[in-house]
Amino acid sequence: MKPKDIVSAWPDMHPPKAIWEQYHAAKNSGELQSFMQERMLRIASEEERMIPDHMIKWYTNRDLIIKNLDNFNLIITTDFTASNNLTGDFSGIAVWAINAIDERYLLDLWLRKSTINDQYEMLFKIVQKWKFLSRGKNIEVGVEIDGQQQLNIHTLDKMKIEKNIWFSYARQKDAPHNQVGIRSKRIAGSKLDRVKLTLGAFELGKWKFPEELKDTHDMQELLEELRKVTHYAIASKHDDGLDLLSQLEMIDYFLPSEIDTTNTSESLMSSDVLVWRDDFKLLDNDNLDDKDPLIF
């Protein structure tokens, strides 16, 4: 686009050439998102949203999931701030219960401004809480290690020993086996590219959010961020909640078994070779009497 193609709403105060120069300056400095939002007042509309409301699924049985955590894998995603300035970015921690068909149930959410030490303390409180509720189930925690964030691992390892509260670090997909932590920028460069990783699961309805948290400040912040994502930009003031979702897409995790194999003696089994009689005595198909009553 050339300057002559720009139509200014106030040419005397904002001539087209000045707008054109400001646009290119913002683009070259990586501040195009701020330019579009603050200078051009470009706020996301319903038609432009990447994740419309009908993709945001709610569930009402969080207590039932908590009672049956043996059937789920627990993963915690994090987005830690690197500053003690409470006017800066948010810090976030999310607890996910993942079932056998890769549905992700949000169980707990902490998303607010925090100091560096307070966010670490909160992580250990949340880990301890969900270890207790899951009767000691192992919990994997995603931690980013891009740039100075490598210090997160050093600090958390020290605190594990001091508190005697233990968890595993979630492994990044396709990462070297000696890598501890998540290098998100190597998977997807920009924040927007990372959010796009979550879109497929949203379209399939696999992200589930609890009604119990719907009115909390933390959940309202996450919803605000989701509603301001378009296919070309993130228009929300903060994007730390979005990182809690996109990090889960970067983690190499296993799905739990859908079949309870802990009580197989009560099951009726059949195969090409072996069957179970009504008295659960193992028989060989080749040596069965035709009159034997079998249960398949």
pLDDT of the chain, 296 residues: tens digit per residue? 788 888 888 888 889 999 999 989 988 887 776 777 667 766 666 778 999 999 999 999 999 999 999 999 999 999 999 888 877 789 999 999 999 999 999 999 999 999 999 999 999 999 999 999 999 999 999 999 988 888 999 999 999 999 999 999 999 998 888 899 999 887 777 889 999 999 999 999 999 999 999 999 999 999 999 999 998 888 888 899 999 999 999 999 999 998 754 554 444 344 443 444 444 444 444 554 555 444 43
CATH 3.40.50.2300 fits 48-250, yes or no: no
Which tokens sit at 138? 């192992």
Which tokens sit at 80? 């830690």
Delimiting residues of CATH 3.30.420.240 domain(s) in the chain: 48-250
CA distances from 34 to 20, 99, 222 (A): 15, 39, 20
Query: For the whole model, what pTM was predicted?
Result: 0.76
Q: 59 burial class (0-12, 13-18, 19+ CB within 10 angstroms)?
A: middle
